[in-house]
Chains A and B, each alone.
Chain A
Amino acid sequence: MKALVTAKGLTKNYGRFRAVDHVDFEIKPGRIVGLVGPNGAGKSTTLKAILGLIKYRGELEVLGRNPRNERAQLMHDISYISDVASLPEWIRVDQLLDLMESTHPSYDLRKSLNFLARTDISKSQRIKHLSKGMKTQLHLAIVMGINARMLVLDEPTLGLDIIYRTEFYDQLMNEYFDQQRTILITTHQIEEIEHILTDIMIINKGKIIINMPVDEIGKHYVQLKTAKETAEQARQLNPLYEKDLLNEALMIFENTDTQRLHEYGEVSTPHLTDLFVAAVKGHQHA
């Protein structure tokens, strides 16, 4: 199946600072990909390159187009939500819907209205009078109306409380996502999206350090919970990352002999959150 997004040697410099450093990746259709990394890792820069918002070096093909020259055409098939602050504060909800209907050829106003009908948002309200949570709901209502092949979310729940964050992802999965659509999400709060991801790309200091389907993580990474007494022996196997628990140590190993680890304690597949921390810390120490 042809990839929706293909990047080869993608590089972006801001002056002397290299935000993205010769990155290669592919995003296949029907996947939910999490591009995660700490603040300043290069997540948003990568997204902006995909969306044709910035200059970059290297090769990038998105939905068969070159985002450098074809941003407007690309946006026929891509929905994009940056964090809620990007909606114009002065606009009224009805004006926003009117704008979407007039400018977006594949926009279905009824779908947005159906979604909005279940919220407390009134069509005559201005964006500046909506709470952050309502703004996110409105943004989601717009996304619902766009018949896009790919949805790009850049920290979409930034600044929202846990209720709205959970609701956002629930609605996204239940009402938007189907096997025909692809979602690319960036966040540094991996714990809130780990249950919905099919693929994970961890980026740090401009480089992608992990890129694989979530169901393959267990093949490459294992987590060991071991007692303090056996920790030293396990440490000889070069864990990628280690953290102290109450009376135990938690270690994450990459491509190691799982049979030997069983001798030292409980072995399991690491949670994405722990893997994320392990990859970033391990990368920093490397």
Chain B
Amino acid sequence: MHSFTTLLRRELWEHTSLKGIPLTLIGFVLLANFAFIFLLNSSVGSFNVSNGEEVRSLGSYINFFTQLEPGQQTAIINSTMITTGMIINSVLLIVMFFYLLDSLYGERKDRTILFWKSLPVSNKQTVLSKLTVAVIIIPVIIFFTTSLANLLTLGLQSLVFYKNQYAADLLWQQTDVSGLSLFSIFLLIQQTIWYFPVMGWLLFCSVWCRKPPIIVAVLIPVILVFIDTSFMLGTGISEILLERLPLGIMSMQLGNESSLMAYNYSLNEQQLPGFNMSAGISVPSIDDILSFFMNIKVWVGLIIGFFFTGMAISLRRWRDDSL
């Protein structure tokens, strides 16, 4: 166990992007907040906060916010936070994609596999440590990055509202911290389970390919979809592959039957006056969770994911520094 945790630390030592990119994203969130505050303070720009309704200054922004119904205030805060979360999640999913693709290919490319295999560490431990980064560590990073980014946004907004203590208090009162956190945690768990076969496939390609694995990892699914749709074979493989491929929560919101958001979370349709987006959230019920786990697609996906992971472990046994 001690050596497994060391292997996880080794992944974080090597892949500095797992720390650097979240920090950069938080930097961008801060920058966006400062830009918003600056523009409102200097009154040089205007923001369309609802259809046809614009705010041109900090005062009018505070007035607009305080005059909304409590549910609408919560909806505005939630929509801001969910949007931030979606962006952070999508970027870190892309990081995860490249991390997995490189995880077992890079060591052959730079010949360090000879060093790693000189340690009394099994192939199973090595492959599982890389899978653990994708399945546990990256989702945890996504959660904490999103939470920190949202906390900083709330903190900065509170500072901006300092002239109106009522508005500042309102901001915190109407923020559903526990609801948002639970919502994020459930969503990340479901996302990880849903993409588990993709993670297994990427790990397998990483150890299998003798050329950069991105070519095979992307090309094989594309060819399968192309053959299936072009010749109208109706095998269903296109649907199976396409519903697993879109990246990020954003794609899940498009109403796809298989999408997690549509599948499990009923977005409260609290339409704001003039707002087009549904911004409320609801924490899934036990029934929602059960229905997710009762879905055969979830279990087939998990089996496929474990199959590819097993293949990756088996193949790494015979991989050396030759490509």
A99 within 8 Å of B (CB atoms): yes
A194 to chain B, nearest CB (A): 26
- Is A103 a contact of B6 with CB atoms below 8 Å? yes
Q: Are B117 and A51 in contact (CB under 8 A)?
A: yes
Chain B residues closer than 8 Å to A71, beta-carbon distance = 117, 122-123, 317
Is the CB–CB distance between B110 and A88 below 8 Å? yes
Q: Are A88 and B112 in contact (CB under 8 A)?
A: yes
Whether the Cβ atoms of B6 and A98 lie closer than 8 Å is yes
Residues of B within 8 A of A55 (CB): 318
**CA–CA, A81 and B119, complex, Å:** 11
Most buried by B among A74, A88, A98, A104: A88
Say yes or no: B110 contacts A89, CB within 8 Å. Answer: yes
B319's closest neighbor in chain A, by CB? Answer: A53
Chain B CB within 8 A of A72 CB? yes
C-alpha spacing A277/B321, complex, angstroms: 29
Name which of B113, B119, B121, B321 has the most chain A CB atoms within 10 A of its CB: B119
- The answer to whether B267 has its CB under 8 Å from any CB of chain A is no
Q: Cβ of A196 < 8 Å from any Cβ of B?
A: no
CB distance from B11 to the nearest CB of A (A): 11
* Chain A 66-87 per-residue mask, 1 if CB under 8 angstroms from chain B, else 0: 0000011111101111100111
Question: In the complex, are the beta carbons of B10 and A73 less than 8 A apart?
Answer: no
Task: Report A82-129 residues with CB < 8 Å from chain B CB.
Answer: 82, 85-92, 95, 98-100, 102-105
Q: Report whether B112 and A48 are in contact in the complex, using a CB–CB cutoff of 8 Å.
A: no
Query: Is the beta-carbon distance between A90 and B119 smaller than 8 angstroms?
Result: no
The residue that B14 contacts in the complex, of A74, A87, A88, with Cβ under 8 A, is A88
Interface pair A53/B320, CB less than 8 Å apart: yes
B121–A72 CB distance below 8 A: yes
Q: B118 contacts which chain A residues (CB < 8 A)? A: 51, 75, 78-82
Chain B positions 116 through 129: 1 when the CB is less than 8 Å from some CB of chain A, otherwise 0? 01111111010000
State whether the Cβ of B60 lies closer than 8 Å to any Cβ in chain A: no
Interface size class of B (residues with CB under 8 A): 20 to 34
- Interface range on chain A (Cβ under 8 Å from partner): 20 to 34
B166 at the interface (CB under 8 A from A): no
Asked if A54 and B14 sit within 8 Å, CB to CB, the answer is no
B115 to A82, Cβ gap below 8 A? yes
Asked if residues A91 and B3 are in contact (CB atoms below 8 Å), the reply is no
Instruction: Determine whether B28 belongs to the interface, using a CB cutoff of 8 Å to chain A.
Output: no
Closest chain A residue, CB of each to CB of B113: A86
- In the bound complex, residues from chain A placing their C-beta under 8 Å from that of B320 are 48, 53-54
A98 and B113 CA atoms in complex are apart in Å by 18
Query: Closest A-chain residue to B3, C-beta based?
Result: A103
* Cross-chain pairs A/B with CB under 8 angstroms, 30 sampled: A51-B117, A53-B114, A53-B318, A54-B318, A54-B320, A71-B122, A71-B123, A72-B122, A72-B125, A74-B120, A75-B118, A78-B118, A80-B114, A86-B112, A86-B115, A86-B321, A87-B115, A88-B112, A89-B110, A90-B13, A91-B10, A91-B14, A95-B10, A98-B6, A99-B6, A99-B119, A100-B119, A102-B2, A102-B3, A105-B120
Closest 9 CB pairs of A and B: A102-B6, A80-B118, A75-B120, A86-B114, A72-B122, A82-B114, A103-B3, A86-B115, A88-B112
Given A82-B115, A86-B112, A103-B7; 9 other pairs, CB 8 A cutoff: A71-B123, A75-B120, A82-B118, A85-B111, A86-B111, A91-B13, A95-B10, A98-B6, A105-B120
